[in-house]
Amino acid sequence: MKTIVEKSQKDFKVKKLINIDNGGTLTDLCIIDGEKIYRTKTITTPHDLSQCIFDGLKKASALIYGEVDLQSLLLSTEAIRYSTTQGTNALVERKGPRIGLVLGGGLSAKSLQGDKSAKDLFQAIVGSRYVELDNAIPSEGIASEAIKAVNALAAAGANRIVISFSGSNRVASEANVKRHLLHAFPPHLLGALPLLYASEIAEDTNDLRRTWTAVCNSFLHPAMEKFLYNAEHKLREEHTQSPLLIFRNDGNAGRVARTIALKTYSSGPRGGMEGAKALARHYQFKKLLSMDVGGTTTDIGIIENDVIRSTLRGRVENVETSFPLCDVVSAGVGGSSIIKVVDGQIKVGPESVGSTPGPACFGLGGKLATITDAFLLMGLLDPSSFFGGDLKLDIDRAKTAITEAIAVPLGVNLESAIHEMEKAWVHKIAESITRYTDVKEDMTLAAFGGGGPLAACKVAEAINIKEITIPSLAAVFSAFGIGFSDIGHTFLQKLEDFDQSSINLARVKIKEIASRGMFSEGTTIENCKLEEWIEICTNDVIKSYALGSSDIPKKLTAGETATLYLKSTKAVPHPALKGSFKEKSASALSTSTRKVLIDGSHQDLPLYLVEKQVGAVKAMGPAILEESFFTCRVDKGWSFFINNSGDILLTKVGEN
């Protein structure tokens, strides 16, 4: 009979940090244990996203302890930080709840669709499910009209409803409607419709931006809420003493109960940007263009002079919202993007097969063609070692999918179909990058994510970049990047008056709010780093002033509004980067070759196993670099350098 030993947290020196990045196809885990880093991957389980978390945690515990020991892993962990691309993917693929919209105070659906991006998003997630309340209706009659509107939207199929009023009385108007709607639609009833009020989500005087913020938040909320609380509950069942911290798109983390859904949008990509920022700082890359290729999207961002490009009014699907966001674009092209022929042309994404059923070569029931199937048939992917050897790839299924979806419709043979698929896939990534930014020759391209390194040379050539870096943890780099985050929140207090007495009173109030907020995170305000500043808004133009700055105006002018901010941060240990690309190097060791299909013909290329290299090494392409969880084709005209830390630098031959 097996003896079960009940362990307690006292049995361990608590120091491990678990970082989890949940993608549409794969879920990545990175466990930081002092100077040791363990990483693994598992297939995302969309029917129950908590399952893939625990599948990954069990795999990680086996790596650390030699056998599955989830309890030891969780009890020896200081913090669990989690990010996800689920919200990003949901908006890219337009998969989510049916949103209904009640507009008042003169706000119209037409005004919310001011450009193509806003119109496309509105039609996809709201469509015809909106009611515009007549602005001429007296205030005492507006509530009854709102009740009729909610009934009509529910009958039209809306399962979440946003109420938004415009004008200076918007807060009072929404509060008035809320009182009546709570009475008419009590939330304790089965089937009660969730109602969200725009003024409760963001204090923004821009009516359109505030409404869009509420609509996007409502779209993302249900799936995120259900999954995150479910995951937190299961972690408690495993006796973990560490809270589940949600890594947000502002670069910090907090508990589920203190995180709104919109803050999870692009949180996975932001993790990659935090890692890229650390990479740029360590290797002194002045301009680092990041390309994170996942299953459903390619996330693109820039680090310049050690700063992540961001904006005070972040964009979701190119629609402006009220919250600051990291300026990352998520293009609908990834390893699992569906590739098909439409009107005689190859179309890549934005739809994805995800992890269920996954690419055809996964052998899990998928029949649609993806670039993963193409890279397998090119010879880039080893069917036996893919995914660390945990997932055997099916070549015959990949051939069938590409033949039926690409070769037959185009009237070409299999090899030509594969070549055309890669061209279209690379073109869409390159086009997404050049649409995002003006690419400069002095930029370095950071290629990561499971699919980032595969065709990095082709992408770089398409956008005229001469230098590529691939971090050693490329396949789990967003999960690794979360490790540079802290526990933090930003609190705000509107200033009704701008004299020193009012500011001092607001400082006292906001510190009390922050104290309660950080107490709910398991710490005290005394253990946090505090930053205070004032923002003055004039005609939607914002200027920030550090508190105490001599530049702060003595008084406000007509039309100006002021807000006091307090950012409270509790530091969490960060990983350290090592290595240099200036190390003395030897020739890289190749132990075999691999037959690879390049531009329609097969070539035998030297295969370099990254983890088998000793010390810093270098060699010329064409070649294949293979690591447990990623593969890189080094094309002709490129050299590669692998340093002592396993980080890779690819350089166009003849370029500095």
Structure tokens at 614: 């000793």
Residue 73 lies in a domain: yes
Of 408, 425, 442, which residue is a domain's last?
A: 425
Of 409, 425, 441, which residue is a domain's last?
A: 425
pLDDT of residue 4: 38
Does 118 lie in the same domain as 86? no
Does 85 lie in the same domain as 14? yes
Structure tokens at 374: 């193409």
Reduced 3-state DSSP string for 188-201: CCCCCCCEEEHHHH
Q: Using an 8 Å Cβ cutoff, are 411 and 403 in contact?
A: no
Residue 20 lies in a domain: yes
| Domains identified in the chain, total number | 5
pLDDT of residue 204: 84
Structure tokens at 518: 């950080």
Residue 581 lies in a domain: no
The closest of 303, 243, 236 to 272, measured between CA atoms, is 303
pLDDT of residue 388: 63
Query: How are beta strands 325-326 and 253-255 bridged, if at all?
Result: unpaired
Residue with tokens 């107490």: 519
Q: Using an 8 Å Cβ cutoff, are 263 and 250 in contact?
A: yes
What is the domain-level CATH number for residue 145?
A: 3.40.50
Distance of CA 267 to CAs 22, 95, 247, 301, 476, Å? 10, 18, 6, 13, 14
Does 156 lie in the same domain as 108? yes
Does 543 lie in the same domain as 497? yes
Query: What CA–CA distance (Å, rounded) separates 604 from 21?
Result: 36
Query: How are beta strands 16-22 and 298-304 bridged, if at all?
Result: unpaired
Rounded to a whole number, what is the distance in angstroms from the first to the last CA of the chain?
Answer: 66
Does 560 lie in the same domain as 505? yes
Distance of CA 529 to CAs 524, 545, 563, Å? 11, 18, 20
Residue 411 lies in a domain: yes
Structure tokens at 626: 């293979």
Residue 432 lies in a domain: no
Structure tokens at 291: 């390309």
Q: Using an 8 Å Cβ cutoff, are 412 and 420 in contact?
A: yes
Structure tokens at 159: 């399962």
Does 606 lie in the same domain as 558? no
Structural domain that includes position 632:
586-652
Q: Using an 8 Å Cβ cutoff, are 45 and 60 in contact?
A: no
Residue 387 lies in a domain: yes
Residue 498 lies in a domain: yes
Mean pLDDT by 10 residues, the chain (656 residues): 42 75 87 91 83 92 94 90 79 86 94 94 95 84 90 92 91 90 80 87 89 93 78 82 87 89 86 94 95 91 90 87 87 93 94 86 92 95 74 91 96 95 97 95 94 96 97 94 93 87 92 94 94 88 84 82 92 90 93 89 94 94 92 96 96 74
Of 157, 191, 224, which residue is a domain's last?
A: 224
Q: What DSSP letter does each residue of 576-598 carry, written as one string? A: -----TTS--EEPP--EEEEEEE
Residue type, 286: K
pLDDT of residue 289: 97
Query: How are beta strands 487-495 and 467-470 bridged, if at all?
Result: unpaired
Query: What CA–CA distance (Å, rounded) separates 394 from 386?
Result: 11
Structure tokens at 192: 């009660």
Does 102 lie in the same domain as 212? yes
Does 96 lie in the same domain as 68? no
pTM: 0.85
Query: What CA–CA distance (Å, rounded) separates 53 from 234?
Result: 10
Residue 609 lies in a domain: yes
Does 144 lie in the same domain as 236? no
Angle at 385 between CA 641 and CA 400, to 5 degrees: 115
Does 149 lie in the same domain as 99? yes
Query: What CA–CA distance (Å, rounded) separates 605 from 619?
Result: 13
Query: What CA–CA distance (Å, rounded) separates 161 from 101?
Result: 6
Does 107 lie in the same domain as 186? yes
Residue with tokens 């500043």: 533
Q: What is the pLDDT of residues 88-122, one digit of tens each?
A: 777 877 888 899 999 999 999 999 999 999 999 99
Does 220 lie in the same domain as 96? yes
What is the domain-level CATH number for residue 40?
A: 3.30.420.40
